[in-house]
Amino acid sequence: MPIGGSSEDYLVVTADTTGPTLKLTLPAAKHSVKAWKTLRGKATDTQTGVKTVRIRAVEQRGQAWYGYNATTKKWRKAATKAKAFGRSRPFSVKPNARDRWSATLVGLQKGNLVYTARAIDRVANHSPLLTQKAKLTKR
């Protein structure tokens, strides 16, 4: 008990050890390049709030793989899927006031899109890594 105070003067602090929740919003047009060029989702955290969502994207076109560089908005060719992920540079997007986020893939083409997403809260807890795949056969 503090000097001259009561037990009501104590403050209880609990640590935020729980990662945020991340959901991906899939477009209705499952095979359309136009529908998939904007990736969307919702990220929530009931304790400290979501700081950012990090997204990486790669695409297979024929036999070649391409990693998306979010900084330059260009696709970089690679020999394998793993190397394409290594050449990709992630988006870091902040959810809006309604916990929704979006990221645009400039230059997306027909092929096999693979992207990963992870939410990070304000004390660096991570959501599980989510992977989404789409076979894009229509513009």
- Residue 71: what pLDDT? 96
Tokens of 85: 């992920």
pLDDT for 33 equals: 98
DSSP, collapsed to helix, strand or coil, labels residue 87 as helix
pLDDT tens digits for range 64-86 = 999 999 999 999 999 999 999 99
pLDDT of residue 114: 98
Q: What is the DSSP string of 113-127?
A: EEEEEEEEETTS-BP
Phi, psi of 63 (to 5 degrees): -95, -10
* 3 state SS of 93: strand
Which structural domains are found in the chain, ordered by start?
A: 18-136 (2.60.40.10)
Check residue 13 and give its pLDDT. Answer: 83
Query: How many of the other CB atoms lie within 10 Å of CB of 94?
Result: 10
Q: What is the structure's pLDDT at 6?
A: 59
d(CA 84, CA 68): 8
Instruction: Give the chain's residues under pLDDT 70.
Output: 1-8
Quote the pTM value.
0.88
Q: CB–CB of 70/91 below 8 Å?
A: yes
